[in-house]
Amino acid sequence: MNELPKTAVVTGASRGIGKCIAETLGALGYQVYITYVSKPAEAEAVAEAIRAGGAKALAFRLNVADAEAVAGFFADEIKDKVRLDLLVNNAGITQDGFLIRMRDEDFDKVLGVDLKGAFTCLREAAKIMVRQRFGRIVNISSVVGQMGNAGQSNYSAAKAGLIGLTKAAAKELASRGVTVNAVAPGFIETDMTLALSEDIRGQYLEHIPLKRFGAPEDVAEAVAFLASDKAGYITGQVLAVNGGMYC
């Protein structure tokens, strides 16, 4: 098994934090399988950048909210074909709105991708990792899963649920050599935060002791650490990457 290349699956990796995670893992020598939903050109560009750096990379269209599609992906592309060392559950969406006006479908859609989608990917990856008796799973949660955020009851619930899922899965899988941890980013410089007005950005910065937004690389390096041998005795934990921002 050791002669096979290390393989990482990173969901939602066509841009932003997921893109940076995928490229960081590629630079560390992982064969990277990235998934996307609606941006094939951007996903392929990420894969090409990884290949240009000397690692292998492939992009796959996968809606993590579709449990049948997820099971098919792991059965057709992963099982008995590669050594699955790492799953990074990064895929996520937002559908913001105040809770008294939030539609059921907006709540369900966010939980379907951000929480159930992560669960489904984790379940299918775990089946493979348990047989290998080795694996690393890192779930990308959020500071709002720890402290809440007005207008994001669905997203906050999903990211808080992801922390609970992380801790439960860690207990179940530890005896098979599989660790499960979460990274909880704070406000990171992405397309979403760049679109905020200066006033709103200033309000957020007031609550960040380091007085700056994080970079996608900050999150990617945290993921890389949890995937490494140096983190072999760490499981069921939430690594906050938020500049000191807590509730």
* Helices 16-27/40-52 angle, 10° precision: 20
Catalytic residue among 33, 155, 204, 246: 155
Q: Please report, to the nearest 10 degrees, the dihedral formed by the alpha carbons of residues 73, 38, 103, 141 taken in order.
A: 60
204 is annotated as an active-site residue:
no
Place of tokens 């960040």: 208
Query: Residue 33 CB: number of other CB atoms within 10 A?
Result: 25
Lay out the sheet containing 6-10: strands in order across: 57-61, 31-36, 6-10, 83-89, 135-140, 178-185, 238-241
What are the DSSP E strand ranges found in 63-187? 83-89, 135-140, 178-185
List active site positions: 155
